[in-house]
A = this chain, B = another copy of it.
Amino acid sequence: MAATLKEIAQRVGKSVTTVSRALAGYSDVSEATRAQVRQVAQELGYEPNITARRLQKRRTETLAIVLPTYSPRFSDPFFSEFLAGVGNAAAAEGYDLLVSTRSPGDEEEKAYRDLIRSRRVDAFIVVRTRLHDARIEILKAANFPFAAFGRIEGDNDFLFVDEDSELGLRLVVEHLVKLGHRRLAFLAAPPDLMFARYRLKGFTETLQARGLPVDPELILTGDLSQRHGHQLAGILLDRPDPPTAIVACNDLMALGAMSAVQNRGLKVGYDVSITGFDDIPPAEHAHPSLTTVHQPVYKIGKMVCQMVIDVINGREIPNPQITLAPSLVIRQSSGPVQI
């Protein structure tokens, strides 16, 4: 059986209190005693029972993240990287990460409420914020600590890290305009996703700022998957007046669009330019490689996690609302317009 403080105390001939305090490094324990306690603890292979510690400290030292899965067969190249960022930051601070997956809606809200009520976790990490985000409303109402990757419509009076998607799209559009493109199409994402809004906004406003028309027929909405990217690009390309550039809301759809272009015997980056957003690993290794906006997902995961840990430990948060400036990664899938 696992050793306890009590056993150490018996062996050392001191009280449990003293043993506890010796190991915790309090100064009201003599060095001799401390050394002896350490020695015996070592011998017995003592490990504190963290459940007992958690009970006494009234903390679970656990963070929750509920991944929104839009389809049963979900497979988002994005989440695994984010998870790694969050998980490593959590581990570094001695926190556990409790992960579950729910599809948005009732099930998801129930998961949040249950986790809050059962006090299983100390805080939440919310990912991929939505326009009216029930998760954030629940957390705010319960006054439960959390940090988000992304912002919401309305009061962003909570901890978040976000990339400035609007600016990201401005960089993309300006890059394409500079290459001579005038007819740009946009593969949008469901408008309840905040990042989709920002990206659409960045797209249209930059066009307008450049004095270019915003043709609603060239703005199609997909579900972020490669398949939808393929389908929607097909629709655009089969028009009598196809766009010369397709700006996708994310890399997956851009990759799908690329294959649609190639299927029609056209050359990506020459006949049609294509851009993405996220800079997932396949973007770099696609053929041609994909021009996209880099999003440091791992780093954002770390930041969000660190923030929320800081806040539950009452530490000062120097910068509770962080918006990162994106950078454009120009690769082969975007090139000068052909005339």
Q: Which residues of chain A have a CB within 8 Å of any CB of chain B?
A: 2, 47-52, 54-55, 60, 62, 67, 69, 72-81, 83-84, 87-88, 90-91, 96-101, 111, 117-120, 225-227, 230, 256, 259-260, 262-263, 280-282, 284-287, 298
**Is the pair B74, A99 in contact by a Cβ cutoff of 8 Å?**
no
Name which residue of chain B comes closest to A100, CB basis.
B87
Instruction: Summarize A's interface: helix, strand, loop or mixed.
Output: helix
- Which B residues lie within 8 Å of A280 (CB)? 75
Determine the distance from Cα of A78 to Cα of B74 in the docked complex, in whole angstroms: 9
- Which B residues lie within 8 Å of A286 (CB)? 259
**Is the pair B73, A298 in contact by a Cβ cutoff of 8 Å?**
yes
**Is the pair B88, A101 in contact by a Cβ cutoff of 8 Å?**
yes
**Is the pair A119, B285 in contact by a Cβ cutoff of 8 Å?**
no
Partner of A262, one of B77, B81, B262: B262
Taking A118-B50, A226-B282, A287-B230 as contacts, is the C-beta distance between A98 and B97 under 8 angstroms? yes
**Is the pair B47, A118 in contact by a Cβ cutoff of 8 Å?**
yes
**Residue among A62, A90, A280, A285 having the largest count of chain B Cβ atoms under 10 Å:** A285
Q: Say how many copies of this protein the assembly contains.
A: 2
**Is the pair B298, A285 in contact by a Cβ cutoff of 8 Å?**
no
Partner of A81, one of B60, B74, B90: B74
Taking A100-B91, A259-B286, A287-B230 as contacts, is the C-beta distance between A281 and B81 under 8 angstroms? no
**Is the pair A81, B75 in contact by a Cβ cutoff of 8 Å?**
yes
**Is the pair A51, B55 in contact by a Cβ cutoff of 8 Å?**
yes
**Is the pair A226, B285 in contact by a Cβ cutoff of 8 Å?**
yes
- Which B residues lie within 8 Å of A298 (CB)? 72-73
Determine the distance from Cα of A81 to Cα of B77 in the docked complex, in whole angstroms: 11
- Which B residues lie within 8 Å of A90 (CB)? 100
Min CB distance, A19 to chain B, in Å?
Answer: 18
Min CB distance, A334 to chain B, in Å?
Answer: 18
**Is the pair B99, A87 in contact by a Cβ cutoff of 8 Å?**
yes
Min CB distance, A251 to chain B, in Å?
Answer: 11
- Which B residues lie within 8 Å of A256 (CB)? 285
**Is the pair A50, B120 in contact by a Cβ cutoff of 8 Å?**
yes
Determine the distance from Cα of A256 to Cα of B52 in the docked complex, in whole angstroms: 51
Given A83-B101, A91-B100, 12 other A-B residues pairs in contact with their CB atoms under 8 A:
A47-B118, A51-B60, A67-B80, A69-B80, A73-B281, A74-B81, A80-B101, A84-B101, A90-B100, A96-B98, A227-B284, A227-B285
